[in-house]
Amino acid sequence: MYKNEAQTRRDLIDPKLFLRGWTNDLIKVEITPGGSDIVDGKPIKRKGRSDYLLCLEVIKGQPPLPVAVLEAKKEDLIPSFGLQQSQNYMKRFNVPFAFSSNGHLYAEYAQDTQKITDSLSLESFPTPDELRSRFEKIINIQLTSEEAKVLFTRYKGGESIRFYFQDAAIRATLEKIIHGEKRVLLSLATGTGKTFIAKQLLYKLAQAGQVKRALFVCDRDELRQQGITQMQSIFGEDAREVTTRNPQPNAKILIATYQTLNVTTEDKTPEFWKKNFPPGYFSHIIIDECHRSAWKNWSVILKDNPDAIQIGLTATPRIIKGKRNSEDEEITSHNITYFGEPVYEYSITQGQEDGYLAACEVIRRSVDIDQREITREEIEKKSASDPYTGKEVNPGDIEESYTAHNYERKLMLDDRVEAMTEDLFQLLLETGTPHQKTIIFCAGDNHAGQISMGLNNLYQEWCNKNGQTPKEMYAFRCTASEQNPSSKDLIAELKGSNNSHFIATTVELLSTGVDIPNLNNVVFFKYIESPISFYQMVGRGTRIGEPRGSKMMFRIYDYTNATRLFGEPFISRDEPTKTDEGGEPTERPKIVRVGNDQFEVHIQEEGKSILCEENGKEVLIPYEIYKERLATALSEKVENLDQLRNVWVNPPQRKELLFALPGGEGSIRLVRELEEEQECDLYDVLAQLGWGAIPKTRAERASGFSFRNKQWLRDMPQKTQETLVAVASQFNKGGIDQLETDTLFAVQEVQKSGGFPALLGLPQKPDYFINETKLRLLS
């Protein structure tokens, strides 16, 4: 009988690796969240893992350096079966070697050979010294050199505080710096901890004595505050906020916004910058969200510090620019032109696959009035007014025609606002409750105010109808123009309160720099042209909750076809339209308001989609097709329900099946969420997908175990019967995983029934009874 994957690792691969010099301290297993389930109101993490991350010890007592990934497969698979998976991990871990093995032979892909070599004897697997020699040639760095010591510096706070992709990004950056490069670009999806990467990079460089004075610069107050908090957690009083009153000349790490440094577009002569920070002042500069100011004058910061290490952080690096019109074109036109290709990239879909970012369901809606233009002649026949005075509108203020991109900015349509707010409120009710944390992106301040008022009225009606006491500040406008309470206070309430401030209507204020871990929905009532802005707005929803892992998904409600921008190149304009911080043009256009009962507005469903990755590009897949793909892949791996049950009760086979499905285990968990089958084990989700079986909840399966298996149980001793019933009852708590924990027999209920001793002294071994119990639970 062939060994399964776990047995192959334990009995075949581990001993042979050890003989080749790969001791336990040189082998890491990186764990990823893999998403989570909510059981008894608490998040239960489902972890992913890499089989082997092979590392080199260069400095005694310092963390070893990752150089290769090795994927193990069960004995009866060809050695190269896991190589494609290993090559994918190779990029994510920033290592130059990928291996796959079945315990007898191994396959290899390496950057130095640029080819796949198959069916090599595992007894001849490269030793640490052999891989080190090849590794040094590939990266062109002597690991014992003084410059390379920074690669082995421990993380401030310990190795366990970073995620694998953060470590990979930091190593990739340090490798480039060691080579003498001064410009580095990192591209990681919103919500993956770019500020954490920045502070740990500076810490490692400072420990190596390379940081004289560093600047962390951003363009939003929220980003600045986040930077201050992160930097001070490591550098303490050596990290200071730059203000116009205090440029912090004695600090080692300075945190500032462009506005404070006086280097925005409006400041043609950056006097504050020039006065306080002479050329060559900084040894290191980190620009957070470096894409956001691609047309502004912040290039003076870089030009005045040409010898500084300059690191750009962004979620959207590949900006394509049109007409060149600035002497700063070298810097401002194109992140990649200036910084070079990103040394490391980590996308939204990769983060979702690993469980570090929440999965995304897209619900598209179509507003019929948006499909046509409204003419001056048509408006003159209706009750149009000046929104500020209420007086009849001056005919000269009406434009020839308006399209959807002008609606609510130049042409206020009360019927449109009413229809869209009613539709959205109904969708919130259909997906659970109106009390969902939500951000709505609106066309402008006025539009944001109208939307919040409309939703508050709908909410009050719902409360009256259902006998509910209304929560305070249900929907609220949150734009830069807010003064009392300030937008800063409103954002704090949106983030922290569970009993108020549920729906924020905004323009651009909440598009970047605001971390709202438990945000349920992102809504587009605003037309978006820029993929850069779109991805930043979507990024508000990707956080996986507090406590981490408590939120597995969020929804996008798209009324303006904004989600067409998934996977589109990040194209920036030559010059931005001048706007204030609320997104309103500084020269306000004439606005015409058409009141209620003037237009009939209908909203139609455009279907549900899931965000996926295909050929390296993020795409939306219609939900039904998404399920069909899962069902097809499942049927290729499993023939029938009986086989599925046998696979499901075997942990290694179950893991292998889930990994083989498109999107892995996360895709099945997402379907469970969308089908509202959270009380079911994933087995039932698969059984329904593949064979149309009616799903049963964990409670139904656990409670029905005794009467469905009376015949099987009655031939056993009483204590054995009671123990197996108690074991089966644990299925209700966490599904099949709950019956495979090391503490199963330590559970009080199981202990009281007789516990493990009740399974001893019988014709079959204890493993038989547990396995049979699992099978019968799923029957």
| pLDDT tens track for 368-408 | 999 999 999 999 999 999 998 899 998 889 999 999 999 99
Whether 370 maps to a domain, the answer reads: no
**Of 127-141, 537-551, 556-570, 735-749, highest mean pLDDT:** 127-141
Tokens 């719902």 locate to 462
* pLDDT value of residue 772: 94
Residues 319 and 461 in one domain: no
Residues 636 and 714 in one domain: no
Q: Which of these, 329, 321, 328, lies nearest to 530 by C-alpha position? A: 321
Whether 354 maps to a domain, the answer reads: no
Mean pLDDT over 620-643 rounds to: 92
Whether 362 maps to a domain, the answer reads: no
| Residue 733: HSE in the Cβ half-sphere, 13 Å Cα cutoff | 13
Residues 561 and 671 in one domain: no
With a cut of 90, say whether residue 548 has pLDDT above it: no
Which band of pLDDT confidence, cut at 50, 70 and 90, is reported for residue 223?
confident
With a cut of 80, say whether residue 101 has pLDDT above it: yes
Helices (H), 179-295: 194-207, 221-235, 258-261, 271-276
Tokens 């008022």 locate to 453
Residues 165 and 308 in one domain: yes
| pLDDT tens track for 429-477 | 999 899 999 999 999 999 999 999 999 999 999 999 999 999 999 999 9
Residues 583 and 657 in one domain: no
Alpha carbons 291 and 331: distance in angstroms, whole number: 11
Residues 601 and 524 in one domain: yes
With a cut of 50, say whether residue 583 has pLDDT above it: no
* pLDDT value of residue 495: 86
Retrieve residue 568's tokens.
Answer: 């589109």
* pLDDT value of residue 292: 57
Residues 99 and 244 in one domain: no
Least confident of 118-132, 322-336, 616-630, 718-732: 322-336
Domain boundary among 609, 642, 665: 609
Element (H, E) at 137: helix 128-139
With a cut of 90, say whether residue 579 has pLDDT above it: no
Mean pLDDT over 233-237 rounds to: 92
Alpha carbons 718 and 716: distance in angstroms, whole number: 6
- The Cα diameter of the chain in Å comes to 96
With a cut of 50, say whether residue 585 has pLDDT above it: no
DSSP-derived letter for residue 59 is S
Residues 657 and 709 in one domain: no
* pLDDT value of residue 466: 96
Whether 355 maps to a domain, the answer reads: no
| pLDDT tens track for 10-28 | 999 999 999 999 999 999 8
Task: Report the chain's mean pLDDT, rounded to a whole number.
Answer: 87
* pLDDT value of residue 2: 83
Whether 342 maps to a domain, the answer reads: yes
Whether 202 maps to a domain, the answer reads: yes
Q: Which of these, 223, 222, 229, 289, lies nearest to 253 by C-alpha position? A: 229
DSSP-derived letter for residue 486 is B
Domain boundary among 324, 346, 368: 346
For 98, list phi and psi in degrees, rounded to 5. Answer: -130, 130
Q: Output the pTM of the full model.
A: 0.80
With a cut of 60, say whether residue 521 has pLDDT above it: yes
CATH of the domain at 239: 3.40.50.300
Residues 196 and 341 in one domain: yes
CATH of the domain at 18: 3.90.1570.30
With a cut of 90, say whether residue 500 has pLDDT above it: yes
Which band of pLDDT confidence, cut at 50, 70 and 90, is reported for residue 47?
low
Domain count, the chain: 5
Full domain range(s) for residue 657: 615-695
With a cut of 50, say whether residue 322 has pLDDT above it: no
Domain boundary among 658, 673, 695: 695
Residues 685 and 733 in one domain: no
With a cut of 50, say whether residue 578 has pLDDT above it: no
* pLDDT value of residue 425: 98
Whether 368 maps to a domain, the answer reads: no
Whether 730 maps to a domain, the answer reads: yes
Residues 679 and 713 in one domain: no
Residues 43 and 89 in one domain: yes
Alpha carbons 32 and 551: distance in angstroms, whole number: 15
| pLDDT tens track for 690-749 | 998 999 999 999 999 999 999 999 989 999 999 999 999 999 998 999 999 888 999 999
Residue 179 burial by Cβ neighbours in a 10 Å radius (0-12, 13-18, 19+) = exposed
